[in-house]
Amino acid sequence: MPLLRLTALSLLLSLTLVLPARAVTLLRDPDIEYALRNLATPVLQAAGLSPARVDILLIDDSNLNAFVIDSDTIFIHSGLLLRMETPAMLQSVIAHEAAHIANGHLMRRPINARNARTAAALGTALAAAAGAATGNGQFAVGAAAGLQGAAIRSFFSHTRAEENAADASGLRFLAVAGIDLRGAVQVMELFRGQEALSLGRQDAYARTHPLSRDRFRRISQLAEAQSTAVPPDPEAMYWFARAKSKLSAFQRSPKWTLTRAGEYAYEDVRLMRQAIAYHRQTDLRRALAAIDGAVARRPDDPYLHELRGQILMESRQIKPAVAAYARAANLAPRNALILGSYGRALLADGQVQKAAQFLETARARDGRDPRILRDLAQANAKLGNNGMASVLTAERYAMAGQLKDAKVHAERASALLPRGSAAWQRAQDVLFAAEAEEKRRK
């Protein structure tokens, strides 16, 4: 699957806050998300949180920031990941955000978290969080309430007391997990001096996480209290290198990537970076040679097979792509992003019924990918399931903020689907969002 630039927009309305459509771009890649989960697991376990429940997702933004909007997801800006120099630095960010969840700091926020893991609630909450970080005051609210930029920032920002508590808890989680606390000090050094800048010049992190010299000093003292330096975990070092390397290979120029492909001491990571760079230069021969070299070193790694499938699929080599994705799906049968890519390749190969099965499984596991909705709608239309195709199309349009088009397809779905069925109810959810937005605009 390609490094997906997924536009998550306002889809449903929270109970008390109505936001206009505002794009927040997620970077969805199964390899990077697996790496982030590996890095997060010891921290989340130390925090008493379930690693299987809490997702670590990347936002496509060069600002240095990380935040939480519900108890199930930690968001990290791509710019922050690229600035991290060690696994401990990244894990300290995760530990701090996990502390906000574990300490109950989200309870005061009136975001409807009942469906927080759905694309609908995700889009609404991300739109609000984006406004908090940017200081954008262009928000509308329901029930004649007035909530402008300053209030939004306050709404989503943490108080100094919360930050101090999260610092202490986060450092404790790191210590329990056996992670070097000096990583937290290094992260704070990135943000020193931010509070002296005007709001428009501050990094997003400073707008949502109050900084101070006292806070930096307190973190430094707590880190110094750790009796001995903690050696880095080899597994953490590898997955950190892999996540950062893959992200940079897609975001930097191919020339930049090729000159730095071997900066980490992992041959498969070097070959992966080269494969991405050559693929972006449309050099299929060299891209395949590189990715095949990486696969030879880690033959049971589903994410390398998935990348091989992407290279072939985007080079219009459909049948070899199907084979590569099939291998990836066999190795990671529960990964929604891989299953979605496999379904997409099957659909391109004309295997519609089989494609629909994999795409539906992918949608059920992760409903935040509009490409899966698009492909599954196409498969259902070819199979004659027009009602289901319409509700999927309605959901996809709603995710893109095109609520007028979403309403048309939701109405069509409502007329075709059995009243009261799960799919019919999904159509009603889209109609509710579209009608509420119409009322707001009047």
User: What pLDDT, on the 0 to 100 scale, is given for residue 158?
Assistant: 54
Distance CA 139, CA 20 (A): 7
- DSSP-based three-state secondary structure for 10: coil
Q: Give the number of residues written for the chain.
A: 442
Cα torsion 99, 103, 105, 111: sign: positive
Distance, in Å, from the CA atom of 380 to the CA atom of 237, rounded to the nearest integer, reads: 44
DSSP one-letter code for 383: T
pLDDT at 203: 53
CB atoms within 10 A of CB 224: 11
Strand partners, 56: 74
| Cα(213)–Cα(160) distance, integer angstroms | 12
For residue 373, give both structure tokens: 């909705």
- Report strand pairing: 55-59 vs 66-70: unpaired
pLDDT band with cut points at 50, 70 and 90 for residue 76: very high
CATH superfamily of 4-224: Metalloproteases ("zincins"), catalytic domain (3.30.2010.10)
Tell me the C-alpha distance between 244 and 250, whole Å: 10
Q: What percent of the chain has pLDDT over 70?
A: 76
User: Residues 198-218: what's their mean pLDDT?
Assistant: 60
Q: What are phi and psi of 39, to 5 degrees?
A: -65, -35
From residue 334, how far is each of 211, 307, 364, 372, 376 by CA, in Å?
Answer: 40, 17, 11, 15, 18
Render 21-76 in DSSP notation, one character per residue: ---EEEEE-HHHHHHHHHHHHHHHHHTT--TTT-EEEEE--SS--EEEEETTEEEE
Beta bridge partners of 4: 28
**Is it the case that residue 186 has pLDDT exceeding 50?**
yes
Geometric angle at alpha carbon 378, from 30 and 250, rounded to 5°: 30
- Residues 19/112, Cβ–Cβ less than 8 Å: no
Sign of CA dihedral 397, 399, 403, 407: positive
Amino acid, res. 337: L
Whole-angstrom distance between the N-terminal and C-terminal Cα of the chain? Answer: 41
**Residue 337 is encoded by which pair of tokens?**
């992003």
Closest residue by Cα to residue 17 from 129, 105, 140: 140
Mean pLDDT computed over 342-358: 98
Is the Cβ–Cβ distance between 348 and 323 less than 8 Å?
no
Q: β-strands 24-28, 4-8: how paired?
A: antiparallel
Q: Which residue has the tokens 């891989």?
A: 338
Angle of helix 119-134 relative to helix 386-399, nearest 10 degrees?
10
Higher pLDDT, 296 or 140: 296
Taking alpha carbons only, the member of 350, 338, 347, 351 closest to residue 310 is 338
The domains of the chain are located at 4-224
Strand partners, 26: 6, 59
User: Tokens 């922050």 — which residue?
Assistant: 80
| pLDDT of 156 higher than 80 | no
Burial label for 138, CB within 10 Å (0-12, 13-18, 19+), is exposed
Is residue 294 within 8 Å of 272, Cβ to Cβ? Answer: yes
> pLDDT (tens digit, 9 = 90+) per residue, 9-67?
332 333 223 333 445 677 899 999 999 999 999 999 999 999 999 999 998 888 888 88
**84-143 pLDDT tens trace:** 999 999 999 999 999 999 988 766 554 433 333 444 445 445 555 555 444 443 332 222
Least confidently predicted of 257-271, 303-317, 391-405: 391-405
Q: How far is CA 146 from the centre of its chain?
A: 30
Question: Which of the two residues, 413 and 165, has the higher pLDDT score?
Answer: 413
Residue 93 structure tokens: 């960010």
Under a CB-based contact definition with an 8 Å cutoff, are residues 428 and 414 in contact? Answer: yes
